[in-house]
Amino acid sequence: MIFTETKLRGAFLLDLEPREDNRGFFARTFCQREFAEHGLKAVIAQANVAFSRRKGTVRGMHFQYPPAPETKLVRVTRGAVLDIIVDLRPESPTWLQHVAVELSADNRRALYVPERFAHGYQVLEDDTETTYDVGEFYTPAAEGGLPHDDPRLRLEWPLPLGEISAKDRSWKPLDQIEPELKRRMSVRDPRSS
């Protein structure tokens, strides 16, 4: 695999290194050793799949608070999405900055989403299927989210808004939850205790 770190520390694009022959190709999509060598959490607690019928559909912006923050390894196996991640680490110099990348069945690219990041995407083709290998179990009590159109995030979606869940429409804007978000997303240095 080819690991390329984005402008957001700890968030990586992963490209395949296919070994081709007359049958097609073979490539590794996950390796605990390679992930650990890049300082990434190499744990998969759950593997999930999302199917979206219509282009324009938006999913996100989702995250889980500590003590159950999630890492995600996101890949599209059918269709295409514009995947966006937002740094929610209060101590980070890239706090609230985002990265957007197209993931598709054609480019076979994956995105590694670190803990304490919001994640979401817009579907670019009908009948798109997205897989998530998640590093923490789904924990409803730790679940959080931000509106996909929160003006402070300045996210640009390429298509008119299509389907969006009632839950995703109900997230409170950053202006209303910022103090709580910062408090709950902060990581105390264990050396300071």
The string of pLDDT tens digits covering residues 93-114 is 999 999 999 999 999 999 999 9
Asked whether residue 125 is domain-assigned, the answer is yes
Does the residue 94 lie in any domain? yes
User: Which ranges in the chain belong to alpha helices (H)?
Assistant: 32-37, 166-169, 174-185
Hey, how many other C-beta atoms are within 10 angstroms of the C-beta on 131? 17
Is 159 domain-assigned? yes
Q: Which helix (H) or strand (E) holds 111?
A: strand 110-113
Q: Which of 40-44, 125-129, 188-192 has the highest mean pLDDT?
A: 125-129
**Looking at the domain assignment, is residue 56 inside a domain?**
yes
Q: Is residue 191 part of a domain?
A: no
**Catalytic residue positions?**
62, 132
Helical residues (DSSP H) of 5-162, grouped into ranges: 32-37
| CATH number (domain holding residue 72) | 2.60.120.10
Amino acid at 183: R
In a domain, 117, yes or no: yes
Q: How confident is the model at residue 25 (pLDDT cuts 50, 70, 90)?
A: confident
| pLDDT band at residue 188 under the 50/70/90 scheme | low
Please give the order of strands across the beta sheet that includes 72-78. 2-5, 12-15, 110-113, 72-78, 128-134, 46-52
> What is the tally of structural domains in the chain?
1
For residue 51, the model assigns a pLDDT of: 98
Q: How confident is the model at residue 187 (pLDDT cuts 50, 70, 90)?
A: confident
Question: How many C-beta neighbours within 10 Å does residue 158 have?
Answer: 11
The answer to whether residue 32 sits within a structural domain is no
Structural domain boundaries, residue 166: 44-184
Quote the pLDDT of residue 28: 87
pTM, two decimal places? 0.92
**Percent of the chain residues topping a pLDDT of 90:** 91
Residue 144: inside a domain: yes
